[in-house]
Amino acid sequence: MDGRLVLVCTEHEDATADLVTAELNRRRVPVLRFDPGQGFPARVVLAARTGAGSASWTTSGRGWGGWLAAGERTADLSAVRALYHRRPSPYPTGGAEQTGRFAAQ
């Protein structure tokens, strides 16, 4: 294994994602599991950039970079190997205008 992280984006009570996470843990693959619908933008913070750009974002200067913080864990997006996205909670759109625009996109 190369030690790169897998992001698991799902609702908190998802038995299938629990099995996926357990298998990744068995294989010693680092996992960061989060529910953006419940945590974003208060408990989950994302700062990302994609496309060709400066080498400070990614090793090659291409692709995507930045970071994702969920609780006390932080992931370097340029080092993420995969995203498992399965039925996250709906984004709350009431309240902040910026959150509503993000959810609409």
The pLDDT value given to residue 101: 64
Closest CA to 92 of 41, 56, 26, 47: 41
Task: For residue 49, give the 3-state DSSP assignment.
Answer: strand
φ/ψ of 103, rounded to 5, equals -65, -35
Q: How many CA atoms lie within 13 A of 82 on its CB side?
A: 13
How many of the other CB atoms lie within 10 Å of CB of 13?
A: 9
The pLDDT value given to residue 19: 95
Q: Give tens-digit pLDDT for 34-64.
A: 887 775 656 778 888 877 655 444 455 567 7
Residues in contact with 80: Cβ distance below 8 Å, sequence separation at least 6, in sequence order:
4, 5, 6, 7
Q: What percent of the chain has pLDDT over 90?
A: 20
The pLDDT value given to residue 103: 59
pTM (two decimals): 0.69
Band (1; pLDDT cuts 50, 70, 90): low
